Structure formats: structure tokens, C-alpha cells
Structure 1
Amino acid sequence: MTAPIQASHPGPDRDRPPPVRPALGAVAWKETVHLLGNLPLALVGFVYTVTMVATAGGLSVTAIGLPLLAVGLFGSRLLGRLERARARVLLGVRVEEPSPLPGPGRAGGFFPWLWAGVKDPVGWRSVLYALVRLPWGLLTFMVALVGLLVLWPVLPYVVRWLSNVDRLMVRGLLSPSDELERRIAELESDRGVVVDTAAADLRRIERDLHDGAQARLVALAMGLGLAKEKLLEDPDAAAVMVDEAHGEVKLALQELRDLARGIHPAVLTDRGLDAALSAVASRCVVPVKVAVDLAERPAAAIEGIAYFTVSELLQNVSKHAGARTASVEVRRSAGSPPAAARLLIRVSDDGRGGAAVGAGSGLAGLAERLRAVDGVFAVDSPEGRGTVVTAELPWRGRAEH
């Protein structure tokens, strides 16, 4: 299960510095070092930021403007990471690291990845931090330097006040996005996956109709036309052709049923996951034990995703695992609050193992589909020791829809 997102701002007592004392203790010395280091690091950050923004802005009318801006904002992220580390060591400020930007594969392609990089809120806040740090860094450097020379008795109090401003700036500008902003970014990155998956499913349905039932019905119509022509001159031949057409009708109906089952099986709608997964297991080439422990049914969309996930995994068992037995377990995890409950799925076999969620594999496609709905997908498949696939989906009970 995914770990809960930590709060961006630490609690009031977790990183509060100790009380100020007239003598320069270890904390005061660290704060002084931090203030003296503000100016050189602020100069580096300011020059980098101004150069990056000016160059990317000047080239914005060309093809390299936006990519250059995205790369520059990534560099600003790295500068922000350096400042968070410095504040953590010298000021005791514990700020969580922001979530990394999704790569081109996870973002759905180069252009979605580029757009996510250009509008990265963490990068832009780091830019703002670098711009305001130069005058502040100059001020703190001068005050700390003068304090070391002539304001020794009050230096601990001065550096504490200035360091507290630094702490506020780090928390305010370099803390990760709040939970809502983070979830929006994740959903935007997953939206392309959902769209691509839906388009692929539509193409599959169109291909199955064209190559299967449609082609069979066309042949059926031609056969009935020929039978009609022979009805008067050769009734026996016409009867044979009608009998063949009757067989074609049965095959076409079976193909349409299979296609409808691939879209959304009627047994799933009518009787739920237990009956639907038992039907899928009965078509597997190895014996499959199915255990569904659900007191109620999840939302129809989650139920459908769970069904097709297990269906694809059992197809993999039939085609690739070389297994003798397999099992499917489905249950609901307790959530606190109840809305945090999850639908847990475990599919295992005793086959040859070696399965991996590699790029372009069916397992990678399943993982992307589950991530798009805030799900989790994990594969444990050591060579020669079988495969265990675990998946989690948000429960989203029917009463919530």
C-alpha cells in the first residue's frame, strides 16, 4: 500500500531551536555559519535564475525555448534541494522533499512531460526563492559579519532573529506542494494513460468486430443469398447451404458473446466478483482456486477493473507460466476512516517465475491502469519459484456513487 503523504510543514515543536543564550553555543554558531553562507549561495542562485529565465524567455519563439525552460526549472529544483539540505543541517528545519516529476513514459509522452516541467510549481517557487534571497543574503551576511566583530554580546539574539526569517522562507517557498496540489499533478500525469487505454480498448473492439463477427455475418449473408438462388432449381443443395448458414449464425453469436464479455460480462453485473472470477478461472488451462471474501460490492468501475486485472493475469498464467496450479484471493482491507479501505487482489501460481514489469509488457500496462485510479501493482516472481502478483484498488463503495 502506498505510504501516506507526509505533511509539508513540521509540527511546532519538532524543529524549534533551543532558547537563546548570551554565550555562543553550538546552535548559535550553526546559525551564524548559515547567515554568512547566504550571500555566496544567493549570488549563485540569482545569477543562475536570471540567466535561465532571460535565455528561455528570449528563445520562447523558437522550438528550444520551452525545453530550455523545463530544464532550467529542473535546475532550480536542484538548487532548492541544496538549500533544504543546508537548512536541515545548520537550522534544524526538517522539510520533506517534493515529489519527483514524472518521466516521459509516466507522463504519457514527450509533450505532456514537457508541459509538466514548464508549469512545475516546485521549480517556480525555487525561482522566487532565488530572486528574493539576494538582497536578504546581502543583509544577513553584513549583519552577521559586523556582529562577529562589534556586536558580540547580542550576537546570539541577532542571529536567532535572522535565522528565524530564514526558517520561514524555507518552509514557505521550498516545502513540497500540499496534498491537493500533489494529487492534481499525479492525476494529470495519469490522464494520458487513461485516454490511451480507452483508445486502445476501442481499437481492440473495432478490430474484433471487423475480423470476427462482422466477417462471419458477411459470409452468412452471401451464403443465404446463394441458397435463395438454388432454392427452386436444387432444393437439396439449398438445404445444405442453409444448414451451414445456421452453423455460422451460432458461431457469430458466440463471438458476439465473447466480445460482450470482454467489454463487461453480464455475470459481473448480475452476480458480482465471486461468480465472475469463478467463470474466468474455469477457462484457465490450469486448476485455479478462487477465494472472494467481500461482505458487499465495491463501485462498478472498481469491480470492473478488478475483474479485468485478474482476467489478464490468469491469461498470463495459461500462456506463459507453465504452472500446475494457481489461486486468486480477493478481500477488502479495513480502513480508518472507512473511506480509506482498499480492495486487495492476490493472484499466484507455481510456475517457472521470471515475470517482470518491463516496458511494453502486459504487466506494465496493468500497472499503469491501476496507478491511473490510485491503485498499486506489485510482482514477486523469482526464477523457478512461481509468481505472486498483488494489486490494490480504492474501495469506493457503491453507496458513494
Structure 2
Amino acid sequence: MATEYGQGYGHRYGHDGERRHRLPAALRAPFEGRSWREFGYILLSLPISILLFTYAVTMVSLGAGLLVTFLGIPVLAAGLAGCRGLGSLERARARGLLGLEVAEPEPLRMRKPGAMAWMGAVLKSGTSWRHLLYAVLHFPWAVFSFVVAVNFWAYGWALLTYPLWFWVFPMYGGQGGLQLYGDEHHQIYLDNPFEITVTALIGLLFTLATPWILRALTLVDRLLVRGLLGPSRLATRVVELESDRGVVVDTAAADLRRIERDLHDGAQARLVALAMDLGLAKEKLAEDPQTAARMVDEAHGEVKTALQELRDLARGIHPAVLTDRGLDAALSAVASRCTVPVQVEVDLAERPAPAIEGIAYFTVSELLQNISKHSRATHASVDVWRVEDRLMLQVMDDGVGGADVSAGSGLTGLAGRLDAVDGILVVDSPAGGPTRVTAELPWRG
């Protein structure tokens, strides 16, 4: 469906978009919706910033002045709460006109309900004070950006369209045109074709430059909104760590369930059958020694099979070769079990932290399993190296491609595992191949 939609979209809109974009970006900018939205954002910023500044300064000054009495605390808390509410409107305005998506800041943390607890939470919240700081800082910037934007916009379009309304001056003003200079003896007007043309060209330059000036001005607004009205870096990091902790817990639980299932369905079931066979052999030992000997021999084979299954299970938990000899030997052992030829190159002068080493091993193992099962490749390669404080892994194959992290496959879980330790998984797998999967992990040696 996604492919069909993409092809249909290109078929329906590709040629029109090509014609529409044949005009250079510098010439399109004055007529684009983005420029008009940014201009509207700057125009609205002045009255809104006046409201914000007035409210913030009034409430904080009143609250600070009344701190000698108990009334100062609720007034100050109400002022900060109002700044938080107005900050929500500012985030909505930035989202609607600038396309800036800013997450809601962290909510108030109250240990118990009640008015006093609420006032304490508001006053202790760094988010509240950052909203107040935004109300104070945004006012002078809004005044500056309003003046610059309106002047450039107005003068640009006025000068550009001067040849169209030049007739207004001689017909209704009794003058020769726009006046550049005038005193008791001399007056200079823009009234001949050459001067009118030069004026329009200057207006064109102003008009073409205005959208880029607006983007530079609104860039500061974006920084203010994102930095002061969004969640703090610490709060964002806490949310990420909580999410990563959930991923780690879920992954560990899934691994335990897999181990329990493998033990129950594999080695445990085989050992139960082995015990039953040995019991039968013991009963037949006196009356039919040959049958008992054959059953013991079969049981011996079952013991070997059970031991191999336990070794495979232990290798799946944490292979001994990884602990003893490191990634180079462990990945070479994994590659030898892959159904396609795999070239392994590990360029590490020292070993990373054991936890990171284990994640790297299982990442490559799962990627090679995917190659064996789905890629239809004839050759694959594994490269491991270090870049400063990051461990880099890259697995490539010449198969059919089409791997997608967002498709809910095993790559999704693998990306979650890497993200839990501040790692990154990047998949480049166009249809028809080749596939290149790059993983980046912290070194933590």
C-alpha cells in the first residue's frame, strides 16, 4: 500500500510540483505560505508579548511586594500559573504558524492535594520560572522583530509596485512623485522612467530579502519557545530513561520466557524421557539384558543430545568464547554457522564494557540470522570498529533488500534494545538490495 500510494502521489503531483519548483527558491519565497505565516506570527507577537510582559511584571511585582504578608505567596503562584497557561497558547501558536512541535513540559509534582501543596509545586517548578523568563525576554525581541519585519515588508512591496501607483502623486498630491530630497530651492522626485525602474528594482531586492529575514527572526522565536516553553533537558532525559528502563525490563522478561520455553520444550522434556527409558532399562536388565543394553545405548545418545541443547542454550545466554576471547572470535563463530559466506573484520585495540560487548554480539547474531532466513543473499560481511567513544557495527549483504525497522519485525525489537543503552540502529535496505545495517553503541570501556 505504501509503495502504491507513493507511486500514485508522484504520478498525480510530480509533474506539477516540478513545474512549480522550476522557479528558484529565492523568487518563490515572497509568495510561499511559509513566508506569510511567519510574517503573521511576527505581527501577532507584538500584542501578545505586550500582554505577556504586562501580566508577568504586574503579578510578580505585586506578589514580591506582598511577600511581607501571606498574600504574596498565592499572588506570585497565580502569576506563575498564568504564565504557564499563556505558554500553552504560545506553543499552539508556534505549532500552527511556524510548524514547531514542542512537547508539553513536565506537570506539577504534588505530594498531596490541597491549595498549599499546589502553590508550593508551582513555586518550586523550574518550568514555571522558565515561562516567566519567556514572558520577560520575548517582549523586547517581539518589538524588534515587528519593526524590522514591517519595515522591510512594507518598503519592499511599496517600492516594487511604485510604477503601478506613481500616478497618485502628480494627480492627487501635486508632486512629481516620491521625494528624495527637498529644501527651499531644490526638490528631487523619482519621476522619470529610469528612476522609477531603479526604485522598483530596489523594491524587488527588499521583497526577495524579506522572507529570509523573517526566517532569521523567527529562528530566534523557535529557540525561545523550544528552550523556555518546552520540557527541560533533565525532564526529557528522565522520560527517556524511564522508557529505556521499560524496554530493558520487557527484553529481560522476554529472554527469561524464551529460556524457560527452551528448557521446558527441549532439554527438560528430553531428560524426562531419558529418565523413563533408564527406568524401563533397569526393569529389563534381569530378564532381557540385550534389550536393556540397547535401551541404555539409546539413552546414552539422548544424553549427548541433551548436553548439546544445553550448550546451545548457554551459548544463547552468553557464549563462553565471547567472555574468553572477545568479539573477534565470538563473531567469527557466529559467522561460521550462517548459511551464507560471511567475512568478519574486527578492528579493536581493546575490549569495550562487557555489557556493550554482549549487546554487540547479540546484535550481529540476530542480523546474521535475518540474513540466513530472509535475505536470499550470496555473501555478507561484518565490520566492527571504534570511533572515539562509540562502538560501530556494520552488517551488509547482497540479498533482496526491503528490510524495514518500522514494519514491526525483529529489527524493531533490536532497535529498542540499542536505544535502551543510548545506541542507534540505521537500516539502509532498498528493494532489490543491497542491505546495510549500521549500529552504534557507547563504548563504556
TM range (shorter): 0.5 to 0.7
Question: Which of the numbers 8, 22, 47 marks the counterpart of 1:36?
Answer: 47
Verify: 1:352 aligned to 2:400, yes or no. yes
Query: 318, 334, 356: which one pairs with 1:264?
Result: 318
**In 2, Cα distance between the equivalents of 1:203 and 1:289?**
33
- Could you say which structure has the larger radius of gyration? 2
The amino acid of 2:127's aligned partner reads R
- Asked if the contact 2:356–2:444 (Cα under 8 Å) also holds between the matched residues in 1, the reply is yes
| Contact kept in structure 2, 1:281 and 1:288, CA below 8 Å | yes
SS in 2 for 1:358: helix
SS in 1 for 2:381: strand
Partner of 1:291: 345
CA distance in 1, matches of 2:126, 2:94: 15
Deviations 1:77-121 (A, max 9, x none): 5633636999x9xxxxxxx975689xxxxxxxxxxxxxxxxx9xx
- The answer as to whether partners of 2:91 and 2:225 remain within 8 angstroms in 1 is no
State how far apart, in whole Å, the 2-side matches of 1:130 and 1:183 are: 23
> Relative to structure 2, which stretch is displaced further, 229-238 or 30-39?
30-39
**Following superposition of structure 1 onto structure 2, how do residues 119-130 of structure 1 map, counting pairs within 5 Å?**
125=127, 129=131
In the other structure, the counterpart of 2:91 is: 80
For residue 191 of structure 1, what is the aligned residue in structure 2? 245
| Alpha carbons of structure 1 residues 209 and 385: separation in structure 2 relative to 1, 3 Å | same
CA contact (8 A) 1:323 1:350 kept: yes
> Offset of 1:247 from its aligned partner?
0.2
Mapped contact 1:79–1:126 kept (Cα < 8 A): no
Q: Distance in 1 between matches of 2:43 and 2:440?
A: 49
Query: In structure 2, how many angstroms separate the alpha carbons of the residues matched to 1:350 and 1:329?
Result: 15
Percent of paired sites with the same residue: 65
Contact map agreement 1:291 1:330 (CA 8 A) in 2? yes
- For the structure 1 residues 231 and 100, does the alpha-carbon distance in structure 2 shift closer, same or farther, using more than 3 Å as the test? farther
Deviation at 1:348, TM superposition (A): 0.4
1:381-392 equivalence runs, <5 A: 381-392=429-440
SS at match of 2:406: coil
Matched residue SS, 1:277: helix
Q: 1:247 is matched with which residue?
A: 301
Please tell me whether the aligned partners of residues 104 and 230 of structure 2 are also in contact (alpha carbons under 8 angstroms): no
284, 296, 302: which one aligns with 2:356: 302
Q: Do the aligned partners of residues 240 and 361 (structure 1) sit closer, same or farther apart at CA in structure 2, a change above 3 Å counting?
A: same
For the pair 1:204 / 2:215, whether they are aligned, the reply is: no
2: CA distance between counterparts of 1:76 and 1:132?
Answer: 8
Q: How far apart are the structure 2 equivalents of 1:173 and 1:358?
A: 30
Question: Per-residue deviation at 1:354?
Answer: 0.6
Aligned-residue offset at 1:190: 1.6
User: Does 2:371 correspond to 1:317?
Assistant: yes
Contact 2:281–2:292 (Cα < 8 Å) also in 1: yes
Q: Once the two structures are superposed, what CA deviation does each residue of 1:226-285 show, in whole Å capped at 9, x if it has no partner?
A: 000000000000000000000000000000000000000000000000000000000000
Provide the secondary structure at the position in 2 that maps to 1:252. Answer: helix
State the TM-score, normalized to the length of structure 2.
Answer: 0.55
* Bigger relative contact order (CA 8 A; separation at least 6): 1
Q: Which runs of 5+ in 1 are unaligned?
A: 1-29, 44-72, 89-95, 102-118, 142-166, 336-340
Q: Is the 8 A contact 2:127 2:229 kept in 1?
A: no
What is the CA distance between 1:33 and its match in structure 2? Answer: 7.4
- The answer to whether residue 442 in structure 2 is matched with residue 394 in structure 1 is yes
CA drift at 1:185: 2.1
The structure with the largest helix share of the pair is: 2
Does the 8 A contact of 1:375 with 1:393 survive in 2?
yes
After superposition, the CA RMSD in angstroms is 4.0
Which residues of 2 match residues 147-158 of structure 1 at below 5 A? none
TM-score normalised by length of structure 1: 0.61
CA contact (8 A) 1:126 1:174 kept: no
- Cα drift, residue 36 of structure 1: 2.9
Residue 359 of structure 1: CA displacement?
Answer: 4.4
- Structure 1: how far apart are the matches of 2:298 and 2:420? 47
Letter aligned with residue 282 of structure 1: S
- Whether contact under 8 Å (1:289, 1:326) holds in the other structure is yes
Find the residue that maps to 1:331 and give its secondary structure: strand
Distance (Å, rounded) in 2 between the aligned partners of 1:387 and 1:230: 59
Q: Which residue matches 1:367?
A: 415
What is the alpha-carbon distance in structure 1 between the residues aligned to residue 341 and residue 416 of structure 2? 28
Letter in 2 for 1:129: H
- Distance across 2 between alignment mates of 1:302 and 1:78: 44
In the alignment, what sits opposite 1:17? none
Structure 2: which amino acid aligns with 1:207?
Answer: R
Against the structure 1 CA distance between its residues 296 and 133, is the aligned structure 2 distance closer, same or farther, given a 3 Å change threshold? closer
Sort the Cα spacing of 1:323 and 1:99 in 2 relative to 1 into closer, same or farther, 3 A. Answer: farther
In the aligned structure 2, how far is the partner of 1:233 from the partner of 1:259?
39
Deviation (angstroms), 1:386:
1.9
